[in-house]
Structure 1
Amino acid sequence: MSDLLGVAVLGAGHMGADHVRRIGGRVGGARVVAVADPDTARAEAAVAGREGVSVHREALAALSAPGVDAVLVASPEAAHEEALLAACARGLPVLCEKPLTPDAVSALRVVEAEARLGRRLLQVGFMRRYDTEYAALKTLLDSGRLGRPLLLHCRHRNVSSPPHFTSSMLISSSVSHEIDATRWLLGQEITAVTVMRPTPSEQAPRGLLDPQLVLFETDRGAVVDVEVFVNCGFGYEVRCEAVCERGSARLGDPHAVVVHEAGHVREDVAQDYLTRFADAYDREVRAWVDGARRGRVTGPSAWDGYAAAAVAEAGVAALRDGARTVVEMAERPALYG
């Protein structure tokens, strides 16, 4: 490997293009050497002004391009499994944007493929673990100062949802972050999911069940509620409060400049996740690059991706059936012990 980690970026959409800008810019130690996207014009635009980057229509062609040492997957989720299995076969470390794959069955196939290798190559992009506020909350909960966590109150709001968004995607796409945050912050597994459906907002597209209230139960008796509202209209908000035996702690309160002017008070609200979690994405990719250069992958694992998929599937079933749904999970391979 050269001094710089050569990265193939799969997918040149909103997320992929942002990662291309990040690598070699705000994150050192790596450079983009290949980009793949079925829309090659979009891929060309993402790497405009960068020298020595090959553009490909097919993901597997990018993996085989000269100088590729690692892979960043930011393509649509349906394309993840093929790319992940191919990267494993080549021994390439991977940072894969969530979800790992579209469902628990395919996610488990990826887990089993990596387990057969006997070493970790895959990291899933649950970037909240790299957010300074989430990290501080994790440290506080792990210290035991506040006693045992009893409840988590979570809020996840978006300005508007993409045209293709479905009611189930509020859970499988949006709430997947709260699934991972719950498992990570509490160190507990989610065992059951219930979904409550208020009357949909008039701002939601016709047929979209938005907002939703998602309830998790854990294997150590904690209860988590997640308000997910993807057409709130005013901004992007992520908040979390941990209620413990001897106190509580909250993250996500606004920290922007507050302007008092002409009889009004104004405070800016982030409009998307790339703004709210810009620093977390930088930290995540920087840690992945540093680890990959040393032959180590230490972030959220393929097993974490599988667990999120299994919980999300239970959540979608709970949404559909209107009943509390038990989470079914495979046995954890020793690699992730």
Structure 2
Amino acid sequence: MGAEHARILHGSISGATVTAVADPASDRAHAVAVETGAWPFNSAEELIASPFVDAVLIASHDGAHADQVAACLELRKPVLCEKPLAPTVQECQALVEQQNAIGGTPLISVGFMRRFHPAYRELKERLAEGAVGQPLMILSSHRNVKSYPDGNSASTITNSGIHEIDITAWLLDSPIASVSWHAPKSTALDKTRQDPQLLHLRTADGVLTTVDVFLNAQYGYEVRCEVLGEQGSIELSAPQLTTANRALAATRTYAADWRPVFADAYRLQSQAWIDALTSRTRSPLATAEEGLQAVRVAEALVQSMNTGGGTVAVDNNKPSGPASPDGTSGRNLSHVH
């Protein structure tokens, strides 16, 4: 994902120059550096500290986000961090407090790029216009071809499901107040996690959202969203690339991953971030506080998962708890089989 961000900034965004890139795998860093004309660094810490770097985009492993964002704040450098802002509520809260202590224009932006997807933006606008009356329920799906390695049932929520968490609250302009987690029969294709999962999200306005997250759906990458209202429904158009009509049958194709589906969203998000930096105005992207709120909801879902699927209230004002005795700050979230 980091390489794709660098390509977007280099080839599609005005007002920005990709000065430096860093990756734990030096060959990847050098390949992207050659492609973008950037300087490759051996570590994120070196890149962040470089006097030639004015702002930082973080697309590293989730577990590295908190330390890297904190390093940017220490040097007063604006930072766009891919979701999640950090793996735990405690880490997110610390970043919010660190930013607040600095004051001025917030430095942290969080990469919930679906907010910039033209279809989601039109959906939000039509809901605001009352196109289907009062929303009652949302039916959403998040499906990948194959799960990424090094994950478990909890990371399905904190890395993939967190998109649905943010976009649901954003569409309805209402915070998620309670959640529950449910497990259908699990696929035999991935023994590391429960897959698929069914997430129930109830916002403060009473709307219930159901989300199926299926990371090994095999048939293609697909995101669905339908809002049922008192006077009708409105949904995202199907994301297939083409439809072939032949021999009394219609066949449609799907993207293999997120890139063709959300290319415009990533480009528009990056341009909005750069425009805010060059004009010295507040970033229109998701805030650190919104990133914290999304992780609160994700942790509530993991709690529901680990306690049999019961409903868990989300207290968006509750301070985070203490770190775990082993110092992991709650990162070792369990999962079921």
- Find the counterpart in structure 1 of residue 279 from structure 2: 294
Q: CA deviation at 1:35?
A: 1.1
- Find the counterpart in structure 1 of residue 128 from structure 2: 142
Q: CA deviation at 1:145?
A: 3.5
Q: Structure 1 residue 16 and structure 2 residue 18: aligned?
A: no
Q: CA deviation at 1:263?
A: 5.1
Q: Structure 1 residue 75 and structure 2 residue 60: aligned?
A: yes
SS at match of 1:68: coil
Q: Which has the higher mean CA deviation after the structures are superposed, 95-104 or 78-87?
A: 78-87
Deviations 1:263-303 (A, max 9, x none): 54221111101121111111111111111111221211111
- Rounded to whole Å, the distance in 2 between the matches of 1:329 and 1:255 is 37
Q: Structure 1 residue 316 and structure 2 residue 316: aligned?
A: no
Matches within 5 A, 1:232-311: 232-254=217-239, 256-262=241-247, 264-296=249-281, 297-311=283-297
Deviations 1:184-238 (A, max 9, x none): 0001111111111011123x31242111111011111111100111111100110
- Find the counterpart in structure 1 of residue 149 from structure 2: 163
Shift of the 229–115 alpha-carbon distance from structure 1 to 2, 3 Å rule, reads: same
- Find the counterpart in structure 2 of residue 153 from structure 1: 139
Q: For 1:38, which of 21, 24, 39 is the aligned residue? A: 24
Q: For 1:54, which of 19, 39, 44 is the aligned residue? A: 39
Q: CA deviation at 1:64?
A: 2.2
SS at match of 1:48: helix
**Does the CA contact (< 8 Å) of 1:212 and 1:228 recur in 2?**
yes
Matches within 5 A, 1:127-138: 127-138=113-124
Q: CA deviation at 1:170?
A: 1.6
Give 2:183's aligned amino acid.
Answer: R
Unaligned runs of 5+ residues in structure 1 are: 1-14, 333-337
- Find the counterpart in structure 2 of residue 116 from structure 1: 101
RMSD over aligned CA atoms reads 1.6
Q: For 1:187, which of 165, 173, 185 is the aligned residue? A: 173
Q: How many positions carry a matched residue from both structures?
A: 316
**Does the CA contact (< 8 Å) of 1:238 and 1:252 recur in 2?**
no
**Does the CA contact (< 8 Å) of 1:195 and 1:319 recur in 2?**
yes
- Find the counterpart in structure 1 of residue 313 from structure 2: 326
- Rounded to whole Å, the distance in 2 between the matches of 1:252 and 1:208 is 30
SS at match of 2:227: strand
Shift of the 243–264 alpha-carbon distance from structure 1 to 2, 3 Å rule, reads: closer
Deviations 1:49-95 (A, max 9, x none): 443x2221221211122321111001111111121112122221111
Percent identical residues: 38
- Rounded to whole Å, the distance in 1 between the matches of 2:230 and 2:120 is 20
**Does the CA contact (< 8 Å) of 2:22 and 2:40 recur in 1?**
yes
- Rounded to whole Å, the distance in 2 between the matches of 1:88 and 1:149 is 39
- Rounded to whole Å, the distance in 2 between the matches of 1:42 and 1:20 is 12
Query: So what's the TM-score if we normalise by structure 2?
Result: 0.90
SS at match of 2:153: coil
Shift of the 125–50 alpha-carbon distance from structure 1 to 2, 3 Å rule, reads: closer
- Rounded to whole Å, the distance in 1 between the matches of 2:303 and 2:90 is 15
Shift of the 188–257 alpha-carbon distance from structure 1 to 2, 3 Å rule, reads: same
SS at match of 1:277: helix
